[in-house]
Amino acid sequence: MGIKADFRGEEGVRKLLDNKKKQYEKMDEKEKNEFDREALENPYLDSGIHYIAEDKEIKKILVGIDIEPAEILMAKELGNIDLIIGHHPLGKGLAHLADVMSLQCDVLNYYGVPINIAEGLMRERIEEVARGVNWRNHRRIIDTAELLKQNLINIHTPCDNLAAKFLKDLIEEKKPEIIGELIDLLKEIPEYKEAMKIGAGPKIFVGTPENRCGKIALTEITGGTEGSPKLYEKMANAGIGTVVGMHVSEEHKKQAEEAHINVVIAGHISSDSLGINLFLDKLEKQGIEIIPCSGFIRILRS
Ligand SMILES: [Fe+2]
């Protein structure tokens, strides 16, 4: 499902895997031993199977945005949880978060930013993110799952791809003209409606409700985490008028303002929930019981 919803298209994802295969084949023995062979099959290394305590039929799952030792303890306490599914990267997935960010180059290119500029600016940002997650305690959560014998996986970018595709299709169908209309459109989505109840609904970070949207780009929903702040100027040159994202840093906001790009923040946990829900609907149809936790808003679409 993640590949089908991918901005690069199935063909683009296959090309990425083929390139990794070619790189692998050129490696010497030492390099091959150090290479994570999962990269040859899984285009989303920020997602994966982290621990299998028991390979059993899955009837009941605990699903959360951030799985930490507390959530694993909770699964144990609730009992009969066959599998814990986290959204945000953990374990090896967290160490490999930067790997999925090259997807953003293709998304930017899709919206008209020349690929050389997207790749050039993303390269330094990808390295920055890789260094940024390096210090983390990657094993802590996996260790807890092992000790408490809980099956544990996480699905990040495939779900974010589903959310991006959903929002892109909706916006292209409804064609909001001004920012106020775009916000109203987002506010009709149940996950954002729920988020509004706690003050975390869609918000304008740059621009006014009367501003015209221009070309709306979904460049900040999928692809790991925030891209380079230097990109806004290039995006403006490429004819992008409005960016819809999950979250935005102050530095990014400042750069967007200078480039006269409107920024609409749909919401972080609510957008994450949207993507997860589109995937979980398939599981629920197969009779799997879902227990939401850790901020995840479960909405069933039939
Ligand atoms: Fe997220």
To 5 degrees, how large is the angle CA 200–CA 229–CA 11? Answer: 90
Secondary structure (DSSP) of 125-179: HHHHHHHHHHTS-TTHHHHHHHHTT--EEE--HHHHHHHHHHHHHHHHHH---BH
233, 258 Cβ separation under 8 angstroms? yes
Query: Helices 157-174 and 268-285, interaxial angle, to 10°?
Result: 100
Ligand 1: centre distance to CA 31 (Å): 32
Ligand 1: centre distance to CA 302 (Å): 24
Ligand 1: centre distance to CA 206 (Å): 21
Q: What is the pLDDT of residue 106?
A: 94
Q: Which pLDDT tens digit goes with each residue over 149-186?
A: 999 999 999 999 999 999 999 999 999 999 999 999 99
Ligand 1: centre distance to CA 110 (Å): 22
pLDDT, the chain, mean: 96
Q: Which pLDDT tens digit goes with each residue over 41-96?
A: 999 999 999 999 999 999 999 999 999 999 999 999 999 999 999 999 999 999 99
Shortest CA distance to 231 belongs to which of 104, 97, 99?
104
Q: Which amino acid is at 77?
A: E
Find where tokens 């006014």 sit.
208
Ligand 1: centre distance to CA 142 (Å): 19
Split at pLDDT 50, 70, 90, the class of 302 is confident
Ligand 1: centre distance to CA 26 (Å): 35
11: left (phi over 0), alpha (psi -120 to 50) or beta: alpha
Ligand 1: centre distance to CA 257 (Å): 23
Ligand 1: centre distance to CA 272 (Å): 5
Q: Which of 97-101, 221-225, 293-297 has the highest mean pLDDT?
A: 293-297
Ligand 1: centre distance to CA 245 (Å): 11
Strand 83-86's sheet: what is its strand order?
48-51, 152-154, 83-86, 60-64, 289-293
Q: Which pLDDT tens digit goes with each residue over 224-249?
A: 999 999 999 999 999 999 999 999 99
Q: Spell out the residues 6+ positions from residue 22 whose beta carbon is closer than 8 angstroms to its own.
A: none
What's the rounded Cα separation, in Å, for the pair 300 and 140?
32
Ligand 1: centre distance to CA 30 (Å): 35
Ligand 1: centre distance to CA 84 (Å): 17
What's the rounded Cα separation, in Å, for the pair 27 and 182?
49
Length, in residues, of the chain:
302
Element (H, E) at 50: strand 48-51
Ligand 1: centre distance to CA 159 (Å): 10
What's the rounded Cα separation, in Å, for the pair 222 and 7?
9
Q: Which pLDDT tens digit goes with each residue over 247-292?
A: 999 999 999 999 999 999 999 999 999 999 999 999 999 999 999 9
Ligand 1: centre distance to CA 49 (Å): 18
pLDDT, mean of residues 189-208: 98
Q: Which pLDDT tens digit goes with each residue over 7-26?
A: 999 999 999 999 999 999 99
Q: Which amino acid is at 29?
A: E
Ligand 1: centre distance to CA 247 (Å): 9
266, 167 Cβ separation under 8 angstroms? yes
21, 117 Cβ separation under 8 angstroms? no
